Amino acid sequence: MSDTAFSLDLQEKYTRICDLKSSGDKIEITSLGVADTIPFFFNSESPQAIDKQAEILMRLYTSLKIKKRVINVMIPDTYTYSQIIQMPSLKEKELLSAIRYQSDEFIPMPLDETELDIEILSEDPITKNFLVLIVAAPKKLVTRIERIIELAGLRAGNLENELSAVGRLYKEKLSKLYKDKTVLVVNFGFSSSSLYLINPQSSFIILTRNFKIGLDLFRKDLDVNLNIDEKKSLEILKTVGFAKGGSYDTEVILSPVLKEFAGEISKFTALAKSHFNLDINTILLCNYDNNISFFDKKIAELTSLSTTTLNLKEILVENPVTQSFANTLSSFSGVIGGSL
């Protein structure tokens, strides 16, 4: 757990920051905050967007009275490329060279435009092969984030994607809560979502998939069908969602996209069975899941799998900060993991 850095989760819709410390086996969150991200920040190369996003970060930092100056940053999976592969037992420098040599197999952009990072997750005791997480991000995006940190008067620490941060949180803190389960973590994002299969023995993520369905697609369907604006549709999703007998028939409107989302989960569970002989029996939701009321109930209904929001209360020291965010704690999974 970092004693020198706090963390930033730079999302498409929200900017979240967190500072924490260890308290025995639990995490004590000392600061937690959220603000709207500049619209279309990830799709803009405007210097003004960088300036405005730096202002948002600085306002959060100042209002929460955080003293640390080093900041670890998480970016959405949808703007990175991730792969978990088996590699021979090599020194890290040799491993990175080997991965760069075959990078065109899993990175759909020129290597000279890419920042590449690897993390050795585990070593097979029999084959001695490494299980390696490879994460690549566009250099332009990395440069823009570094500029935001500089303008905010802070120093850059680690840069990683959601998969890496959520995986660390699960491995280090949450795995003990699900010892007898085969878990699928569903990172319900804004423009896309990610699925993480957890190895029940090692508690590492061993399979991942990202697909282009997220909160924004649900929102757009309501916009079109009800002829309302973004603010109103997000309000309906959060307050009504999939409630029975609600004032809006959202279930009928959103049924196609919801079934497509559940279909992605079903295909992934089949992959878990065919590749690893694992039968997923537990789904844990995080990120934007609490922006749709009764979302967990509908996923459970369509997949016939036990589905709940990621339970962070068991690993956190209860204090005024956690009480203030009690109903939305799962949305901070990435930014909490980034501080560990």
103 pLDDT above the threshold of 80: no
**The pLDDT value given to residue 2:** 63
Going 148 to 152 to 157 to 159, the CA torsion angle's sign is: negative
Share of the chain above pLDDT 70, in %: 99
3/70 Cα distance (integer angstroms): 10
Q: Are 278 and 200 in contact (CB under 8 A)?
A: yes
284/61 Cα distance (integer angstroms): 30
102 pLDDT above the threshold of 80: no
- Output Rg (C-alpha) for the chain, integer angstroms: 20
Higher-confidence position of 307 and 92? 307
- Domain spanning 5-337, CATH class: alpha beta
Phi then psi for 297, rounded to 5 degrees?
-65, -40
The DSSP call for residue 201 is T
239 pLDDT above the threshold of 90: yes
Q: Are 329 and 13 in contact (CB under 8 A)?
A: no
Predicted model pTM: 0.94
| Mean pLDDT for all residues in the chain | 93
246 pLDDT above the threshold of 80: no
Question: Where does the pLDDT of residue 273 fall: very low under 50, low under 70, confident under 90, or very high at 90 and above?
Answer: very high
1 pLDDT above the threshold of 80: no
Q: What mean pLDDT is predicted for residues 166-188?
A: 95
**The pLDDT value given to residue 214:** 98
**The pLDDT value given to residue 262:** 98
Element of type H or E holding 15: strand 14-23
79/61 Cα distance (integer angstroms): 24
296/281 Cα distance (integer angstroms): 14
Cα angle, residue 321 at apex, residues 316 and 323 outer, rounded to 5°: 75
* Residue 285: closest CA among 316, 308, 313, 262: 308
Cβ neighbors of 52 (< 8 A, separation 6 or more) are: 38
161/333 Cα distance (integer angstroms): 12
**The pLDDT value given to residue 233:** 97
Describe the crossing of helices 139-151 and 47-63 by its angle, rounded to 10 degrees.
Answer: 50
**The pLDDT value given to residue 125:** 80
Q: What mean pLDDT is predicted for residues 220-240?
A: 96
Highest mean pLDDT among 81-95, 107-121, 294-308: 294-308
Question: Where does the pLDDT of residue 87 fall: very low under 50, low under 70, confident under 90, or very high at 90 and above?
Answer: confident
176 pLDDT above the threshold of 90: yes
Cβ neighbors of 221 (< 8 A, separation 6 or more) are: 253, 254, 256, 257
* Identity at 167, one-letter amino acid code: G
How long a stretch of residues is the chain?
Answer: 340
State whether residue 323 is helix, strand or coil: helix
Write out the two tokens for 11.
């999302």
Q: Where are the domains of the chain?
A: 5-337
The DSSP call for residue 38 is P
Cβ neighbors of 101 (< 8 A, separation 6 or more) are: none
**The pLDDT value given to residue 286:** 98
329/323 Cα distance (integer angstroms): 9
Q: What mean pLDDT is predicted for residues 78-100?
A: 85
Convert 32-69 to b/e letters by CB count within 10 Å (16 or more is b).
bbbeebbeebbeeeeeebbebbbebbeebbeebebebe
5/45 Cα distance (integer angstroms): 28
Cβ neighbors of 157 (< 8 A, separation 6 or more) are: 2, 4, 5, 70, 71, 72, 73
